[in-house]
Amino acid sequence: MATLPQPEELARKILDIFVSHFKCRPNDVLLINNIQIVWLNSGLETDDLKDGMEYAVNSGWIEILNDNSMSFKLTEEGFKQA
């Protein structure tokens, strides 16, 4: 039986995009468009990205920047969790 991915699993996939795909370090910033392209090319769903982002933000792994560009910053803790 198929199961839906859990929010923590999705959040870790987002961290993998930051660290493995884009080679980000703590405090590096990515635009949502960059994350979405990799996410969707991996065959993942847009709704799953939202759930993963929520978990990552609530866990302190990434921060939402308030600059209207929809950008996200990788935190020290997020880098450690990647």
Cα within 13 Å of Cα(46), Cβ side = 3
pLDDT-derived band at 69 (thresholds 50, 70, 90) equals confident
Crossing angle for the helix pair 7-16 and 46-58, nearest 10 degrees?
90
- The rounded mean pLDDT for the chain is 95
DSSP bridge pairs for 72:
30, 64
Domain 7-81 fold: Arc Repressor Mutant, subunit A (1.10.10)
What are the CB-based long-range contacts (under 8 Å, 24+) for 40-47?
A: 42/13, 44/10, 44/13
Q: Tell me, what amino acid is at 74?
A: L
Higher model confidence: residue 81 or residue 1? 81
pTM confidence score: 0.93
Residue boundaries of the structural domains of the chain: 7-81
